[in-house]
Structure 1
């Protein structure tokens, strides 16, 4: 019985080493040591387990911006975080935000929940406020998980509406190589060979084009954009 004190000591040492490793791998300052440690472990997980390769998203050192990508699995937010040197505030479905056991992490990351079954005005205003105060907001403009094989190409109109209120650049990226595509959970667990391709930013004025929802949708899905192509 007298040796049972070793168990909490070992646990404490493991926790300290775990946090220290995360802080060493951390690249973005989230403003809190625990979030920074989680950032580091997300990068370790993506680089070594999922073998993430490809581009880093070249965000400005300061100022508001929007990051967008195709959405193929639950791993996608981790891949975006691992490809940026600034913290990302994700627009996330309310039902995912309230998922048991994960809400604390979403709150630490200052995610913005959006109720897809009702009015989205509150989330819309929060995104505008966040970008105006200099944050980088990340979202998946096709909405829910949307695979390359699906018929619909164009993105939802929310991004275009945001750019009408915000004079900020939009940084598009394409995610590939994830196993377990189409699932929130299996994409995280199954080891793939993830790749992220970052494209040049879109100026907010470019969103005045009538074809912008289709153009961005095609870019994110790896398809050729045809201006005359009808929106399905």
Structure 2
């Protein structure tokens, strides 16, 4: 009796393992087929493809062609309305994005492996945030794309005005990289972080022509604010 029980349990475990392997294989193949960006590793490319399917089918993402240069460093800036925002931006872009994110989010249990894998740059807001800026400058000079939210935190249109952080201007001036503004709207989970992923909506990502912030810092920061806060309408839309 005991030997039969052990045998049956072993068969059940084997069956479950085969089912899990089959599901993972199907997901990998689906993700690989939908992948549009080379993240340097097959499993990251598969996740990229699955994210594009998820954002376009579940969140009904619509976007205009984002004016990213084909090569060379670039800065992507966007308004920040939820924890879903990075997924939507990645799904709309044809190049890998390296996000500047708070260290406490970077070290979040269960997500750290993925955030590290896609090259996120942690910002120690309570310690030495300048270290993150130096790392961002280094990767910009290597020709990569750095993405950040100049408001610093989730900031909705109906919230009191918040001054944009000037790190994006410093990075643009030090690297010579163009700044590509974007604006997100239609996210149903506005104001939420992780749970925003679970609320289907009709997300829209509007891109604008690149800015070259080499001279007047305040004027360029104001231009960025106008774009990402929705005051520029369709001016410069790509």
Say yes or no: TM over 0.5: yes
- Distance in 1 between the 2:164 and 2:184 partners? 16
> Per-residue displacement from partner, 1:43-82 (whole Å, max 9, x unpaired)?
1110000000121313222111111100000000001100
Specify whether residues 8 and 209 from structure 1 end up closer, same or farther in structure 2 by C-alpha distance, changes over 3 A only. closer
Deviation at 1:174, TM superposition (A): 0.2
Could you list the runs of 5+ residues in structure 2 that have no partner in the other structure? 1-7, 234-238
- Distance in 2 between the 1:204 and 1:164 partners? 6
Deviation at 1:150, TM superposition (A): 1.9
- Distance in 2 between the 1:90 and 1:192 partners? 23
Question: How many equivalent residue pairs?
Answer: 224
- Distance in 1 between the 2:72 and 2:219 partners? 27
Partner of 1:193: 202
Moved more, 157-166 or 127-136: 157-166
2:224 aligned with 1:216: yes
Match of 2:64 among 55, 65, 69: 55
2:104 aligned with 1:98: no
SS of residue matched to 2:67: coil
| Alignment of structure 1 residues 57-72 onto 2, 5 Å | 57-72=66-81
Partner of 1:12: 21
Match of 2:144 among 135, 143, 152: 135
RMSD: 1.6
Structure with greater helix percent: 2
Moved more, 1-10 or 166-175: 1-10
Could you list the runs of 5+ residues in structure 1 that have no partner in the other structure? 226-232
8 Å Cα contact 2:169/2:217 also seen in 1 = no
Partner of 1:155: 164
Deviation at 1:171, TM superposition (A): 0.6
Deviation at 1:7, TM superposition (A): 2.2
Specify whether residues 22 and 113 from structure 1 end up closer, same or farther in structure 2 by C-alpha distance, changes over 3 A only. same
Structure showing greater Rg: 2
- Distance in 2 between the 1:175 and 1:94 partners? 24
Give runs of ≥4 in structure 1 deviating > 4 Å.
none
SS of residue matched to 2:218: coil
TM-score (norm 1): 0.92
> Per-residue displacement from partner, 1:184-232 (whole Å, max 9, x unpaired)?
1232111111000000000132x5243322221122011259xxxxxxx
SS of residue matched to 1:101: coil
TM-score (norm 2): 0.89
8 Å Cα contact 2:35/2:48 also seen in 1 = yes
